[in-house]
Amino acid sequence: MWGAGLLNGLWITMRNLLRGPITVKYPHEKLDLPERARWAVAPKRFEDGSPRCTACMTCVRVCPDHILSLEVETREDKSKHIVRFDYEIGACMMCGLCVEACPFDAIEMSHEYELAVTDPKGLRRTLLADVDAASAAKHREEKPKAEGAAGEAGERADG
Ligand code: SF4
Ligand code: SF4
């Protein structure tokens, strides 16, 4: 009885001695993050580099921490200009509600996780500044292209 416990203990010790390491030498080595990992909020852009944000304010209203703010100017032709789109990253709980609520797929939870700063000013970020907001027409233009690409990918997968 006593011997069986001893052997079992030795077996567990040997097994762990021979097992490879399960940690990595961060920051020299980094693991790939899972696709659905949620870190800093980041703006998304069209292929031509212009922002997808239409300045609709949905994300600003939905954020439970009230840490997104948008300063927007509306021109005579009703187009919108984003003066600043600010984000207090230091208070963000990475809940992803702003991304889920955005009707234009204009922001994402990025995989940027090295967020420590030495200057507290770095806890407030400007996501967009002095750019024209995207129009509904621009989104309509992009939709058929995106659907076409998805269709081609599906056909390739079907063989
Ligand atoms: S992830 Fe959550 S807390 Fe952070 S900005 Fe978006 S809604 Fe607000
Ligand atoms: S990021 Fe999305 S929800 Fe927020 S203002 Fe821009 S378009 Fe609207």
- The C-alpha atoms of residue 104 and residue 99 are separated, in whole angstroms, by 9
pLDDT at 34 over 80: yes
pLDDT digits (tens, 9 = 90+) for 110-134: 999 999 999 999 999 999 999 999 9
Distance 105 CA to ligand 1 centre (A): 15
Mutational pocket test of ligand 2: of 86, 104, 105, the residue with most ligand atoms within 8 Å of the beta carbon: 104
Q: Which domains does the chain have, with CATH numbers?
A: 26-136 (3.30.70.3270)
In the three-class reduction of DSSP (H, G, I as helix; E, B as strand; rest coil), residue 73 is classed as strand
Distance 133 CA to ligand 1 centre (A): 21
pLDDT at residue 42, as a whole number: 98
- Which of 150, 115, 152, 133 has its CA nearest to residue 45? 133
Partners of residue 131 on adjacent β-strands: 82
Ligand nearest to the CA of 96: 1
Ligand 2 pocket residue status of 41, Cβ below 6 Å: no
Which ligand 2 atom lies nearest to the CA of residue 58? 3
- Cα of first residue to Cα of last residue in the chain, in angstroms, is 62
Report yes or no: 94 and 104 within 8 Å, Cβ to Cβ.
Answer: no
Residue 38: alpha-carbon gap to chain centroid: 6
> Token match 């980094």: residue?
30
pLDDT digits (tens, 9 = 90+) for 53-93: 999 999 999 999 999 999 999 999 999 999 999 999 999 99
Mean pLDDT, residues 39-52: 96
pLDDT at residue 47, as a whole number: 93
Ligand 2 atom 4: residue of nearest CA: 59
Which ligand 2 atom lies nearest to the CA of residue 62? 3
Report yes or no: 92 and 40 within 8 Å, Cβ to Cβ.
Answer: yes
- The C-alpha atoms of residue 113 and residue 10 are separated, in whole angstroms, by 40
